[in-house]
């Protein structure tokens, strides 16, 4: 999730879902596989797997693909040997960037990430050069049209155990502790509220304002990074 243009990013991803369905499915399959490998293949006992399956279904992934990814991760298939790697970098104007990846070839991934950053006015940073400015949170995005009653929406989210809810012009951003994410998401869905996007990701503790021209440059870097096969999510500390 790129914090600087979340709602624009959500709409952009929806627009790309048909054009890039194969690539999106590939990323989701990786996440399901890793989740099943780490926590087992039973969604009820594995919050991360349950969230990954929900995201796959929201993208209209066939059940047979989901089931195959679960079996691959929960079994002994060596093709399920993905590594979780987080890279840290800087964009134009010193904007901090966190890039979360799942890869079976670390050398390929770091080369792709470094190249994308350096070709677009950024650079790869050292470990902990940027991450101290971020924290891992569950983030649930809900468009205003899905819950027009702001007061009721806030009441539901707080009763569900959400840590915070931020009201913006286009919708609501619900934040949770990672351990509470799956349960909060489940309870919100039980209220028949449509979710625009949901994920556990890195969220900036504080954001930095940047010039309009820099916003466009950072948008481009984020989009190019997200398009890399091994990148699962990208976060920045650029203010919205």
Report percent pLDDT > 90 for the chain. Answer: 55
Pair 103, 162 in one domain:
no
Pair 63, 91 in one domain:
no
Instruction: CATH number of the domain at 111, please.
Output: 3.30.70.980
Pair 47, 10 in one domain:
yes
Pair 53, 150 in one domain:
no
Report pLDDT for 75.
Answer: 82
Report pLDDT for 21.
Answer: 73
Counting the structural domains of the chain, the total is 3
Report pLDDT for 2.
Answer: 45
Mean per-residue pLDDT over the chain, rounded: 88
With 80 as the cut, is the pLDDT of residue 7 above it? no
Instruction: Name residues whose C-beta falls within 8 Å of residue 210's C-beta, 6 or more positions apart in sequence.
Output: 92, 93, 95, 218, 238, 239
With 70 as the cut, is the pLDDT of residue 16 above it? no
Pair 143, 111 in one domain:
no
Tokens read off for 189: 């869905």
With 90 as the cut, is the pLDDT of residue 79 above it? no
Mean pLDDT lowest for which of 77-81, 183-187, 191-195, 210-214?
A: 77-81
Give per-residue pLDDT as tens, 116-138: 999 999 999 999 999 999 999 99
Pair 34, 64 in one domain:
yes
List of long-range contacts for 17-23, beta carbons under 8 Å, 24+ apart: 17/59, 20/227, 21/59, 23/227, 23/229
Pair 138, 128 in one domain:
no
Pair 151, 191 in one domain:
yes
Pair 140, 108 in one domain:
no
- If one counts every other C-beta atom within 10 angstroms of the C-beta of residue 239, the result is 14
Range of the domain at 119: 83-132+208-236
Pair 154, 40 in one domain:
no
The residue-averaged pLDDT of 69-73 equals 91
Report pLDDT for 131.
Answer: 94
Give per-residue pLDDT as tens, 194-222: 988 888 999 999 888 888 888 889 989 99
Instruction: CATH number of the domain at 22, please.
Output: 1.10.10.200
Is residue 139 within a helix (H) or strand (E), and if so which, with residue range?
strand 134-143
Integer Rg of the chain from CA: 18
Residue 60 CB-density burial (10 A; 0-12 exposed, 13-18 middle, 19+ buried): exposed
Whole-prediction pTM: 0.84
Tokens read off for 179: 């351990």
Pair 50, 169 in one domain:
no
With 80 as the cut, is the pLDDT of residue 11 above it? no
Give per-residue pLDDT as tens, 32-48: 999 999 999 999 889 88
- Sign of the four-CA dihedral 160, 59, 47, 181: negative
Report pLDDT for 5.
Answer: 61
Tokens read off for 29: 């399959």
């Amino acid at each position: 999730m790129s914090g600087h243009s979340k709602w624009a990013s959500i709409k952009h991803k929806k627009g790309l879902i048909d054009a890039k369905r194969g690539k999106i499915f590939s990323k989701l399959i990786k996440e399901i596989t890793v989740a099943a490998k780490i926590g087992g293949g039973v969604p009820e006992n594995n919050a991360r797997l349950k969230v990954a399956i929900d995201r796959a279904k929201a993208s209209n992934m066939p059940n047979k693909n989901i089931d195959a990814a679960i079996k691959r991760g929960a079994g002994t298939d060596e093709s399920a040997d993905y590594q979780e790697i987080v890279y840290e970098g800087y964009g134009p104007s010193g904007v901090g960037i966190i890039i979360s990846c799942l890869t079976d070839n670390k050398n390929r991934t770091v080369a792709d990430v470094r190249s994308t950053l350096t070709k677009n006015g950024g650079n790869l940073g050292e470990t902990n050069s940027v991450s101290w400015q971020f924290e891992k949170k569950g983030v649930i995005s809900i468009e205003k049209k899905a819950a027009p009653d702001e007061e009721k929406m806030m009441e539901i989210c707080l009763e569900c155990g959400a840590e915070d809810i931020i009201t913006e012009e286009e919708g609501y951003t619900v934040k949770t502790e990672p351990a509470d994410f799956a349960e909060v998401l489940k309870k919100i869905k039980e209220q028949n509220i449509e979710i625009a996007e949901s994920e556990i990701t890195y969220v900036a503790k504080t954001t930095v304002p940047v010039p309009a021209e820099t916003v466009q440059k950072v948008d481009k870097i984020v989009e190019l990074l997200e398009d890399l096969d091994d990148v699962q999510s990208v976060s920045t500390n650029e203010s919205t």
